Amino acid sequence: MYSLTPEQVKIRKAVREFAEGEFRKVARELDAKETFDDRLWKKAAELGFLAVFVEEKYDGMGMGYLDQCVIVEEFARVDLGIAHAIESTFFGTQLIQMIGSEDQKTKYLPPICGGSMRMGMAITEPDAGSDVSSVSTTAVLDKDAYVINGSKVFITNANLADFLVVLCVTDPDNPKKHQRFSTIIVETDRPGYSATAYHGKLSLRASNTGDVVLKNVRVSKENLLGKAGQGFYNIMEFFNRSRVQVSALGVGTAQGALDKALGHVRKRSQFGKPLADLQLVQGKIAEMATKTEAARSLCYRAASLLDAGTPDPALSSMAKWYCAEVAVQVADEAIQLHGGYGILEEYDVAHYWRNAKVLEIFEGSKEVEKVIIAKKILGRY
Ligand X SMILES: Cc1cc2nc3c(=O)[nH]c(=O)nc-3n(C[C@H](O)[C@H](O)[C@H](O)COP(=O)(O)OP(=O)(O)OC[C@H]3O[C@@H](n4cnc5c(N)ncnc54)[C@H](O)[C@@H]3O)c2cc1C
Residues near ligand X (CB under 6 A): 120-124, 129-130, 154-156, 204, 209, 358, 361-363, 365, 367-368, 371
Under 8 Å between Cβ of 139 and 228: no
Distance CA 65, CA 302 (A): 9
- Closest to ligand X by CB, 136 or 365: 365
| Catalytic residue, candidates 73, 237, 360, 363 | 363
3-14: string of b/e by CB count within 10 Å (b at 16+)? eeeeebeebbee
Contact 275, 265 (CB under 8 A): yes
CB 212 within 8 A of CB 161: no
Residue 25 to residues 30, 46, 351, 375: CA-CA distances in angstroms? Answer: 10, 20, 14, 45
Cβ nearer to ligand X, comparing 320 with 338: 320
CB atoms within 10 A of CB 273: 9
Per the document, the length of the chain is: 381
Give whichever of 121 and 319 is closer to ligand X, judged by the CB atom: 121
Phi then psi for residue 194, to 5 deg, are: -140, 150
Considering the complex, state which of residue 236 and residue 361 has its C-beta at the smaller distance from ligand X.
361
Report in angstroms how near the CB of residue 340 gets to ligand X at its nearest.
29
CB of 211 to ligand X, least distance (A): 11
HSE-up (13 A, CA, CB side) for residue 355: 33
CB hemisphere CA count around 25 (13 angstroms): 6
Least spacing, CB of residue 207 vs ligand X, in Å: 7
Write out the DSSP string of 188-210. Answer: TTSTTEEEEE--S-SS-TTS-EE
Query: Nearest distance from residue 304's CB to ligand X, in Å?
Result: 25
Least distance from C-beta 371 to ligand X, angstroms? 5
Sign of CA dihedral 199, 201, 205, 208: negative
Residues 6+ positions from 249 with CB-CB distance below 8 Å: 72, 73, 75, 76, 80, 83, 84, 87, 323, 327, 359
CB of 313 to ligand X, least distance (A): 15
Smallest distance from ligand X to CB 123, Å:
3
Closest residue to ligand X, judged by C-beta, is 129
In the residue annotation, 17 being an active-site residue is answered as no
Beta strand 163-169 with 119-122 is: parallel
Q: Which is nearer to ligand X, 75 or 362 (CB)?
A: 362
Closest CB to ligand X among 248 and 358?
358
For ligand X, the closer CB: 206 or 265: 206
Q: What angle do CA 149, 135, 319 make, to 5 degrees?
A: 135
Catalytic residues: 363
